[in-house]
């Protein structure tokens, strides 16, 4: 991570430390919103301040009553041009909240709307380095360390430098499985994704962005804990499920859902993070970093199904092509 990025992150963390925080709000849309789910999970586990994830436009229209000068609002838009996220940042800043925004592009509308903008590098969509997640995790652990210094957070900050290697070696290890997935599932019209805990955002992003947006495949992200409260009724021998098993405290939810699902469906793709190479990450932090590797692995699965379907991930019917 470049020094300029670290300076931006440390400046934002110092601003949070200087105030009496009442709430952390993570606000974004689509894949950027999914990016915030593991961050909220980390904050819930490590911090006694409430943290909530909002979709940008909902945040604008139902601005929480608790939103005030003691709030911290963290937003993200890859392009920095997402109108709903820009507006949400403006609303938060007008309420006196500390506003921190992530964007790949500097001097964008979002960059200008936030009090503390943070830039991250980006090569291309296939790059497994995950610069946006690295920047976000760096901010989260710098904030935690600023609020309550802890050697665990120092170690987490050190682990962030290992993210590119972590992701690449697990993507490489799943290359054959991803290719097989593309071949086996290329004609499926619907694929469910299931996860819980820190990994739920990954399942959500894979379902709505990679399958629905980029492949026009019907999908839905099912929370493993909610599977038995309605969704399991659709389980059948020919219904495809991608099931993600995490390394965090919610793993028993994933194991229970998988145990039932595999009895009745013959089309289960299991992504078990217990089989990932996490040797570069400290044991007590693996649950927090596993979603990053899961996201990179599932991106490889998306690349392969796109290739087998002859439908590039870059093709859109509506997005960026018309007013909406």
Q: How confident is the model at residue 130 (pLDDT cuts 50, 70, 90)?
A: low
DSSP state of 248: S
pLDDT in the model for residue 1: 75
CA 201-280-221 angle, 5° bins: 15
Q: Domains in the chain and their CATH numbers? A: 3-160 (3.40.50.10490), 163-309 (3.40.50.10490)
With a CB cutoff of 8 Å and minimum separation 6, the contacts of 282 are 155, 156, 159
Reduce the DSSP state of residue 92 to 3 states and report it.
helix
- Average pLDDT value over all residues in the chain: 95
Output phi, psi for 52, to 5 deg.
Answer: -135, 140
Give the residues across from 193 on adjacent strands.
221, 242
Q: How far apart are CA 13 and CA 283, in angstroms?
A: 25
Determine the average pLDDT of the residues in 115-138.
78
Sign of the alpha-carbon torsion through 282, 286, 289, 294: positive
pLDDT at residue 128 is higher than 90: no
pLDDT tens digits for range 192-235: 999 999 999 999 999 999 999 999 999 999 999 999 999 999 99
Averaged pLDDT, 278-301: 97
Single pTM value for the model: 0.94
Task: Write phi, then psi, for 68 (nearest 5 degrees).
Answer: -155, -165
As a whole number of angstroms, the distance between CA 62 and CA 84 comes to 13
**Parallel, antiparallel, or unpaired for β 71-76 and 98-103?**
parallel
Per-residue pLDDT at 193: 98
Q: Quote the CA–CA distance of 190 and 144 in Å, as a whole number.
A: 40
């Amino acid at each position: 991570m470049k020094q300029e990025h670290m300076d931006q992150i440390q400046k934002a963390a110092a601003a949070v430390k200087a105030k009496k925080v009442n709430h952390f709000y993570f606000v974004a849309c689509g894949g950027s919103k999914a990016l915030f789910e593991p961050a909220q999970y980390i904050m819930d586990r490590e911090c006694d301040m409430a943290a909530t994830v909002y979709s940008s436009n909902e945040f604008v229209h139902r601005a929480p009553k608790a939103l005030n000068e003691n709030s911290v609002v963290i937003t993200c838009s890859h392009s920095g041009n997402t109108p709903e996220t820009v507006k949400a940042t403006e609303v938060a800043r007008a309420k006196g909240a500390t506003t921190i925004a992530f964007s790949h592009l500097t001097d964008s509308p979002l960059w200008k709307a936030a009090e503390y903008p943070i830039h991250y590098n980006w090569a291309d969509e296939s790059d497994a380095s995950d610069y946006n997640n690295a920047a976000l995790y760096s901010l989260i652990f710098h904030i935690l360390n600023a609020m309550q210094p802890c050697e665990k957070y120092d170690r987490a900050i050190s682990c962030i430098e290992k993210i590119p290697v972590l992701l690449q070696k697990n993507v490489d290890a799943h290359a054959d499985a991803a290719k097989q997935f593309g071949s086996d599932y290329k004609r499926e019209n619907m694929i469910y994704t299931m996860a819980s805990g820190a990994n739920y955002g990954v399942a959500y992003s894979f379902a709505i962005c990679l399958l629905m947006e980029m492949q026009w495949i019907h999908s839905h992200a099912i929370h493993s804990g909610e599977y038995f409260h309605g969704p399991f009724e659709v389980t059948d021998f020919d219904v495809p499920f991608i099931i993600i098993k995490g390394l965090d405290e919610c793993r028993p939810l994933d194991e229970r859902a998988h145990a039932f699902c595999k009895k009745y469906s013959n089309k289960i793709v299991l992504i078990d993070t217990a089989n990932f190479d996490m040797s570069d990450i400290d044991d007590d932090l693996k649950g927090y970093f596993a979603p990053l590797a899961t996201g990179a692995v599932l991106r490889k699965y998306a690349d392969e199904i796109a290739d087998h379907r002859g439908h590039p991930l870059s093709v859109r019917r509506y997005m960026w092509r018309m007013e909406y």
